[in-house]
Structure 1
Amino acid sequence: MTSVCRLQWHFILIFSAALKGESRYLEVRDAAEDDMFALLKSNLKRDLTEGQIYRRPLRCIDMLSIEGQFTFTAEKPELQCVLFLIGDPEELVTVEYNFVNIDCHGGDFVKVFDGWIIKGEKFPSSLDHLLPTSERYTDFCDTGRTRATVQASQNVAMVFFRIQEPGNGFILTIRKTPNLFPCNVISQTSNGRFTMVIPRQHRNCSFSIIYPVVIKISDLTLGYFSDLQLKKPSPVGCQESGDFVELLGGAGLDPSKMFPLADLCYSFHGPAQMKIGCDNTVVRMVSSGKYINRLTFEYDPFHRPGLENEQGNNVEEVCFPVK
């Protein structure tokens, strides 16, 4: 079996067994961590002629990282379907209902979830999102309005749907809009560079990398207002300081359920480096809202040749399983 066929087969098996369509608040469950993001790790980008609108039919289990118009028409009763949406870190994902023909009174639905939820674990976590979980769902059957648009709070979202009558379906347009201050992000790649800025807002921001990586922090500014340093490192630990950065590792999706690997609550100019051999790595900034906090970091695959021999503030590879 080719790698492409194996990828598609694993993806279909995982999610067809995982979705629970009868619940009001839906989740993706029972997916093996090694496989749940296999489609994300494949090449999802497509080259388009400038100005061309990308169109294609949707599968019951699908993922999109590109803008366009997408159609789903049920050929048989489809009870447990999900569409994963992801953009670049500096983008917000939006979903527009162009046409919907479903039987809401008969149990059909099309629901957009603000973020991702898999195996009962959410991204962003409840600690990092401004809304409670129940309010992060937008159900078409509650609004009944086509041309309505749902905008996610970050670069990822999901669409859950159940359509029981063959021939029924919907048309969605997926768009992406710029996000001047990206907060919660799932990275599409295993390497990159990112600057996180929280401009005097009382909120938490998590950057999730679903790969074992080497994190290199080049610049961290905490407790500053304009050019004046107003805050010194807390002597009682980062958790009490109100403004800090933590590195987390684990096998799941929810940062609040991951193992803390390091805390930083003082400003510095790098480099500072840490190797994290976890399935999922998260860089999380907690902000009190009193200051402009800024963090710049790079990330590369942990196994990449040459990184192990570089000079820097290295910490031995570490990852603890989440119980």
Structure 2
Amino acid sequence: MRGAMSVTFRVHLCFFLLSLYVLKGQSRYLEEHEITPERVLSLLNSELKRELSDEFVYRRPLRCLDMLVVEGQFTFMADRPQLSCAAFFIGEPNELISIQYDAANIDCAGGDFIKIFDGWVLKGEKFPSSQDHPYPLYERYVDYCTTGSSRRVIRSSQNVAMIFFRIHSAGSGFTITVTKLINPFPCNVISQTPEGSFTMVIPQQHKNCSFSIIYPVEIQIAELSLGNLNDVSLKRSPWGCAGTGDFVELLRGNGMDTSKMVPVADLCYSFSGPAQMKIGCDNTVLRMVSSGKFVNRVTFQYRLLHQHELEKLRGNNLEDFCDME
């Protein structure tokens, strides 16, 4: 799924970054005035196109607002007070993010901080949502000023993570090393690319997994295998698929928190597709809910909607909410 990001995705992501709400919902404005949408798009492109050999350790300065898709060592050194900074990390769907503190020279008592978050925060909304993440929200924030050297390495639970930091004095900063780890059963993914295919498997574990695509797409489910199909006592619940304990749902919306998104369809019986739908939202999510009693599996593919398809969707729908077909 490697490749250049689509212009649509980059614009969406740039908008998200520049309207960032950080630190558990407290609104702060980015104070890096030199950052422009064009600069963010440029750094996203340069990061995605970079291919590194296994022997080479990539090193570069970390920006106050940054996006990192490659492994390497990154150093932030303040040349003036930087009071609202954030760096986003993203890997392939089957990767986890590992962040190691190599050095830190900050004044915690003076109000400086470095906080790593297990997931992303965009516009005040968190991915994965509290419903889908294995840890409570307070455990997903790791504060360097609180933990110090006792937690030099922090590993994400999915293919995205981020770091917030505030530094008051010029000359203060920190260095981190970012590596990627293989995740044999990916759960909760943000796609890097505007098109691709993926198979999500939940092997008899009681959890929810979401695959987020942050642009308007056509999504096509090729195959859905739910273990409850073999349960002869299974009956249709009056509460729909949610009452079965094992199901897949499609969600649409313009934010990141799946608990705030609108259900489009739910599927609780195995089938071989294709079943497809076009969704003209900023975010389309395929979410699998598993009771832990069965092995559940879904295979799907997706592609970016063309401009004429978006215009058709919007022309057929009078609602203010994002459109679908």
Letter in structure 1 aligned against 2:81: P
Q: 1:213 aligns with which of 206, 210, 217?
A: 217
Unaligned runs of 5+ in 1: 307-315
For these two proteins, the number of residue pairs brought into alignment is: 298
Q: Is the CA contact 1:19–1:80 (under 8 Å) kept in the aligned structure 2? A: no
Unaligned runs of 5+ in 2: 1-6, 31-36, 310-315
CA 251–277 in structure 1, closer or farther in 2 if over 3 Å, else same: same
Q: Tell me, what secondary structure is at the counterpart of 2:170?
A: coil
TM-score, structure 1 length as denominator?
0.83
Query: Is 1:295–2:274 an aligned residue pair?
Result: no
CA 16–321 in structure 1, closer or farther in 2 if over 3 Å, else same: closer
Q: Report the alpha carbon displacement of residue 14 of structure 1 after superposing the two structures with TM.
A: 7.2
Letter in structure 2 aligned against 1:165: S
Q: Report the alpha carbon displacement of residue 18 of structure 1 after superposing the two structures with TM.
A: 4.0
Q: 2:85 aligns with which of 74, 78, 81?
A: 81
Q: Tell me, what secondary structure is at the counterpart of 1:143?
A: helix
Matches within 5 A, 1:227-238: 232=234, 234-236=236-238, 237-238=240-241
Deviation string, structure 1 residues 259-290 (Cα, Å, up to 9, x no partner):
11010000001111111111110000011111
Letter in structure 1 aligned against 2:110: G
Q: Tell me, what secondary structure is at the counterpart of 1:321?
A: coil
Provide the C-alpha distance between the structure 1 equivalents of 2:92 and 2:16, rounded to a whole number of angstroms: 25
Letter in structure 1 aligned against 2:291: S
More helix by share: 2
Q: Is the CA contact 2:101–2:175 (under 8 Å) kept in the aligned structure 1? A: yes
Provide the C-alpha distance between the structure 1 equivalents of 2:116 and 2:181, rounded to a whole number of angstroms: 17
Q: Report the alpha carbon displacement of residue 232 of structure 1 after superposing the two structures with TM.
A: 3.8
Q: Is the CA contact 1:60–1:82 (under 8 Å) kept in the aligned structure 2? A: yes
Q: Report the alpha carbon displacement of residue 44 of structure 1 after superposing the two structures with TM.
A: 2.8
Deviation string, structure 1 residues 147-168 (Cα, Å, up to 9, x no partner):
7100010000010001111001
CA 146–277 in structure 1, closer or farther in 2 if over 3 Å, else same: same
Q: 1:153 aligns with which of 137, 151, 157?
A: 157
Matches within 5 A, 1:94-173: 94-145=98-149, 148-173=152-177
Deviation string, structure 1 residues 3-22 (Cα, Å, up to 9, x no partner):
x9xx89x95x97566455xx
TM-score, structure 2 length as denominator?
0.83
CA 217–18 in structure 1, closer or farther in 2 if over 3 Å, else same: closer
Provide the C-alpha distance between the structure 2 equivalents of 1:41 and 1:248, rounded to a whole number of angstroms: 27
Provide the C-alpha distance between the structure 1 equivalents of 2:211 and 2:58, rounded to a whole number of angstroms: 28
Q: Is the CA contact 1:221–1:294 (under 8 Å) kept in the aligned structure 2? A: yes
CA 137–273 in structure 1, closer or farther in 2 if over 3 Å, else same: same
Query: Is 1:199–2:241 an aligned residue pair?
Result: no
Query: Is 1:186–2:167 an aligned residue pair?
Result: no
Q: Which residue of 1 aligns with 2:64?
A: 60
Q: Is the CA contact 1:217–1:273 (under 8 Å) kept in the aligned structure 2? A: yes
Q: Which residue of 1 aligns with 2:273?
A: 270
Matches within 5 A, 1:244-259: 244-259=247-262
Backbone CA RMSD of aligned residues:
3.1
